[in-house]
Amino acid sequence: MLQMTNIGKTFLTGQVQTKALDQINLEVDEGEFVTITGPSGCGKTTFLNIAGLLENATAGQYLLDGEDVSRLGDRQRAKLRNQKIGFIFQSFNLMPDLNLFDNVDVPLRYRGLGRGERHQRIEEALTNVGLWSRRKHLPAQLSGGQQQRVAIARALAGSPRFLLADEPTGNLDSKTAAGVMSLLHEINAKGTTIIMVTHDPVLAQNSRRNIDILDGQIRDDARRNTAAVA
Amino acid sequence: MEFGPILRSLLRNKTGALLIALQIMVTLTVIVNAIYIIQERSQHMTKPSGLDEANITHILSIGYGESFNAEATTDNDLRVLRGMTGVADATVINAIPVSSSGSSNGYMVEPGRLELAVMAAQYRSDDHAISTMGLELIAGENFSPNEIVRHEPGTARTDTSVIVTRAMAEALYPDDAAETTIGRIFYAADDTALQIKGIVERLQVPWPSADFAENSVIYPEIELDGGNYYLVRHEPGYRDENLPRVEETLAAQNDTRVLRENQTFEQTRTITFIPDNAMTSILSIVVSILMFITGLGIVGLAVFTINRRRRQIGTRRALGAGHIQILRYFLVENFVISTVGVIFGAIMTVALNMFLVNNFDLAPLQWYFVPAGMAVLLVLGQLAVVGPAWRASRMSPATATRNI
């Protein structure tokens, strides 16, 4: 489903070139739950940005569902992000002035779906995360864990091909984090591919596949037969 | 279109938006009324007088001393002026149109009905008045030389024939065409009977802002009170050359009088409209400054909200918003704020105009000024926000994953 060949990313700051990613070769199949680990500054977020079409690689080829997306224009990348990728951010990134319903509605409006279909998808997504009854609430009226559940609902409402999660439990206490991870595993169990960047070694050990990045390169790509729910 | 979420978001975050809406409201209120006043003044300033303005000059002669003979001086001055090279004609008159100084009277179609009086300027001149001023006689006849009366100060007015403007004839006889009123008799406030001998197309009164600006009556009279205005119409191309010569020539005729106001009709206009020009200039500056400040306010709010919402914009981009959708978001948001501002501004505009009408003798605002002002401010708002919104739309979607 996702195939990266010799992907590289170089940033130019003044006269200084910094290689954030170098020679990344990776394949992710449908239904996988992949964690990405590595120390701060190793290139995890850059990898996530490229995988999520938030920025372009400066080298290599990236195929998504067999389509070369390495050199797409902004409009096509925006369309693909909207239709194929669900994002979950460390700081939830909810719109503080919009209630939960309107927050989940944001990507659906960009897709141009009709009012009825949007309503049905929002209801389904918020019900799945147990927050439909609080759809009129603002994000600030929820706990951190609940806000992340809304972000997950927003990511799922568009029925994406895969979810990209950037430290989804980074701002949560361990109990709440366990709840969010449990939800992500449930979603994965239903067939949604998940790629998750994390600092947490326990989460990495419990995933079926963990890719360890160091200095912009894949140091280890470990697959396990079973995964425990964190 | 995200109209609903934008409106709900604004309602939850009102302060900045309300301040801008308030600014738009005040701007609309002030600029529409100011532009209306400017337009009204401009209409006064550009209203045609009916005179051959490009070729006319006037000079004031004031006699003094016991030896001054008003009648002889007037007759001699007119003879000399009419004989000058490049002078088409000259006349003596009691007041200069558009000069701010003259006399008016009330006129009625029935004697004693002062409550029905029509106001008009009264000009006293001779049979050269029409020719000198370059007026267009549309009906009846000019005065003949032998009906011009020399009027000594303090003597009573007598019944006479007069020439009136079309506007005056229509004001006296609103149901009849002006041309059909020749020969009719109407009355001055002192019940003097006046018969319409001729009608001219237009002759403005001395006070351009008067609501009877084109109601004029010309009497066949020369006032012998020692003070005369001489109106001189020059052949095309001679005006500027003749202007100093008129004063020199008259000064050489008589040394028991002073000569003043030797000026072209254009200069008369300029002097009369100094206050109006000053007011329109000040109001134009106020309008420009207000528009600029409002534009800056909108730009400021847009830049502020965009900087405050950088992550939100990045998130929207990550969730699939293209450049156009981000640009449209801020344009729609500004449109909502501006619409609230212009709706309340329209109400305040009408209220201020009613206040001005009641307290400062201003005509009521024409209805189309309000929607035109609303449209201008809505466009101003969109133009002001398009720059910051465009920069926001170029923001990278990767902003969503950065710690900002």
Domain residue ranges in chain A: 31-41+78-223
3-class DSSP state of B300: helix
Dihedrals phi, psi of B124, to nearest 5 degrees: -120, 120
Cβ pair B130, B137 in contact under 8 A: yes
Task: Count CB atoms within 10 A of the CB of residue A220.
Answer: 11
Contact A98 B401 (CB under 8 A): no
Tell me, what's the pLDDT at A171? 85
Contact B316 A52 (CB under 8 A): no
**What pLDDT is attached to residue B266?**
94
Task: Please judge whether B311 and A97 are an interchain contact, meaning their C-beta atoms are less than 8 angstroms apart.
Answer: no
Torsion, Cα of A118, A123, A129, A135 (10° steps) = 100
Q: Please judge whether B318 and A52 are an interchain contact, meaning their C-beta atoms are less than 8 angstroms apart.
A: yes
Rounded-to-integer distance, Cα B369 and Cα B376, Å: 10
Q: What is the pLDDT of residue B290?
A: 87
pLDDT(A222) > 70: yes
pLDDT at B88: 95
Q: Is the pLDDT of residue A230 over 70?
A: no
Question: Which one of B9, B13, B398 has the shortest CB-CB distance to A49?
Answer: B398
Q: Which residues of B233-257 are buried (b: 16+ CB within 10 A; e: fewer)?
A: bbeeebbeebbeebbebbeeebeeb
Structure tokens, A18: 């910094």
Residue scoring higher pLDDT (A223 or B240): B240
Q: Kindly determine whether residue A89 and residue B400, on different chains, have CB atoms separated by under 8 Å.
A: yes
Say whether B262 sits in a helix, a strand or coil.
strand
CB of A97 within 8 Å of a chain B CB? The answer is yes
Q: Do A109 and B2 touch (CB under 8 A)?
A: yes
CA nearest neighbour of B257 among B224, B232, B233, B228: B228
C-beta separation of B78 from B84 below 8 A: no
CA distance B346 to chain A (A): 29
At CA B54, angle to CA B50 and CA B60, rounded to 5? 85
CATH topology of domain A31-41+78-223: Rossmann fold (3.40.50)
Query: ipTM for the complex?
Result: 0.92
pLDDT band (50, 70, 90) for residue A41: confident
Q: Which residues of A57-71 are buried (b: 16+ CB within 10 A; e: fewer)?
A: bbbbebebeeeebbe
User: Which positions in chain B have a beta carbon within 8 angstroms of at least one beta carbon in chain A?
Assistant: 2, 4-5, 8-9, 12-13, 311-312, 315-323, 325, 396-398, 400-401
Torsion angle (degrees, nearest 10) of CA B301, B304, B306, B312: -120
| CA B85 – CA B81 distance, rounded (Å) | 9
Q: What's the rounded Cα separation, in Å, for the pair B129 and B91?
A: 6
- In chain A, DSSP assigns E strands to 2-13, 16-28, 33-37, 59-64, 67-68, 85-88, 162-166, 193-197, 209-214, 217-223
The pLDDT of residue A116: 95
Taking each helix axis from N to C end, the angle separating A100-111 and A74-84, rounded to the nearest 10 degrees, works out to 130
> Sorting pLDDT into bands at 50, 70 and 90, what band is A201?
confident
C-alpha distance across the termini of chain B, in Å: 28
Report percent pLDDT > 70 for chain A: 97
Identify the residue among B401, B402, B404 best suited for mutation to test binding to A, counting A beta carbons within 10 A and taking the highest: B401
Interchain CB contacts (distance < 8 Å): A and B: 79
Contact between chains at B320 and A87 (C-beta distance less than 8 A) = no
Shortest CA gap A197–chain B (Å): 12
What pLDDT is attached to residue B218? 96
Query: Looking at the partner chain, which of B8, B321, B396 has a beta carbon nearest the beta carbon of A110?
Result: B321
Q: How far is A222 from chain B (nearest CA, A)?
A: 26
pLDDT at B403: 59
| Average pLDDT rounded to a whole number, residues A160-171 | 90
Query: Distance, in angstroms, between B375 CA and closest chain A CA?
Result: 29
Question: Quick check: B12 and A83 CB within 8 A?
Answer: no
CA distance B23 to chain A (A): 23
Low-confidence ranges of chain B (pLDDT < 50): 404
Which value, to the nearest 10 degrees, does the dihedral of the CA atoms of residues A187, A193, A195, A200 take?
A: 40
- Distance (Å) from the alpha carbon of B342 to chain A's nearest alpha carbon: 24
Q: Would you call A99 helix, strand, or coil by DSSP?
A: coil
CA nearest B2 in A: which residue?
A109
Nearest to B400 among A54, A78, A79 (CB): A54
Beta bridge partners of B120: B105
- Find chain B residues with C-beta within 8 A of A107's C-beta: 319-320
Contact B140, B57 (CB under 8 A): no
